[in-house]
């Protein structure tokens, strides 16, 4: 285990099992659709989940990505999600599936829902790896949430702290001294 991790919350095996369930749920929902649904990965956090999810599906899908940033280098949401990179595909008249790593305050999801519906998406489905309802500010919910997590500082499997830890294959709680040191300006 990485030395900066206090405790593993979700093992690689538990994540893989739930990703398969999410993929089966999506197959059930879209296997009879006339046109391939458009799967949107919200960069960067969802990238690991996104790749595992679409590979576990049998339904043909089209993929695209957006980069939305709400946190910057801080540990709490700014409330003003910024679109840093937009889609290359049009969403008009299409079944859109948004793939997130985490729904926290809900600002990002609320913004993207409004944007996709405004752009004429036929349907809008949200799949998230993690749901942290304790931190919700805006009333939004995912259609499929793999795991509900408590209000702890978690990293791994896409989730970062200051851009680090994304490539851990599991999700774990970051040791308090790691982010406390950095907020005090101590360089590690
Ligand atoms: C994270 C996460 C979600 C969003 C959720 O992205 O990937 O997109 O925050 O938070 P919210 O519900 O409070 O809006 P972040 O801005 O940290 O960027 P990243 O995915 O590149 O890490």
pLDDT of residue 106: 96
What would the mean pLDDT of 15-39 be, rounded to a whole number? 96
- Catalytic site includes residue 104: yes
* Residues 123, 53, 16, 135, Cα dihedral to 10°: -50
Mean pLDDT for the chain overall: 93
Residue nearest to atom 2 of ligand 1 (CA): 102
Lining residues, ligand 1, CB within 6 Å? 42-45, 68-71, 77, 81, 100-109, 160
Pocket test for ligand 1, best of 42, 48, 70, 165 (most atoms within 8 A of CB): 70
Q: What is the pLDDT of residue 107?
A: 95
Q: What percent of the chain has pLDDT over 70?
A: 91
pLDDT band at 29 (very low <50, low <70, confident <90, very high): very high
Closest ligand 1 atom to residue 71 Cα is 16
Contacts of 143 (CB under 8 A, 6+ apart): 125, 126, 127
Q: Which of 47, 104, 160 maximizes ligand 1 atoms within 8 Å of its Cβ, making it the mutation to test the pocket?
A: 104
pLDDT in tens, 70-119: 755 455 555 678 899 999 999 999 999 999 999 999 999 999 999 999 99
pLDDT for position 185: 54
Order across the sheet with 144-148: list the strands: 82-85, 62-69, 38-43, 95-103, 123-131, 144-148
pLDDT cut 90: percent of the chain above it: 85
Q: Which of 52, 95, 104, 131 is catalytic?
A: 104
Specify the pairing of strand 154-155 against strand 171-174.
antiparallel
Half-sphere exposure of 100 (CA within 13 A, CB side): 26
């Amino acid at each position: 285990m990485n030395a900066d991790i206090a405790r593993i919350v979700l093992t690689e095996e538990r994540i893989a099992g739930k990703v398969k369930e999410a993929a089966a749920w999506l197959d059930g929902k879209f296997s009879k659709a006339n046109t391939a649904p458009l799967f949107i990965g919200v960069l960067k956090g969802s990238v690991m989940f996104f790749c595992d999810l679409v590979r576990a599906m049998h339904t043909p899908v089209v993929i695209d990505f957006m980069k939305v940033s709400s946190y910057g280098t801080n540990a709490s949401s700014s409330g003003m999600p910024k679109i840093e990179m937009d889609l290359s595909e049009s969403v008009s008249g299409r079944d859109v599936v948004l793939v997130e790593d985490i729904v926290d305050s809900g600002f990002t999801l609320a913004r993207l829902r409004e944007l996709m519906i405004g752009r004429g998406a036929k349907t809008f489905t949200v799949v998230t790896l993690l749901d942290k309802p304790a931190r919700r500010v805006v009333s939004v919910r995912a259609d499929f949430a793999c795991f509900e997590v408590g209000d702890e500082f978690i990293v791994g499997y896409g989730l970062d702290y200051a851009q680090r830890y994304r490539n851990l294959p599991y999700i774990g709680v970051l040791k308090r001294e790691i982010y406390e040191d950095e907020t005090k300006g101590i360089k590690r």
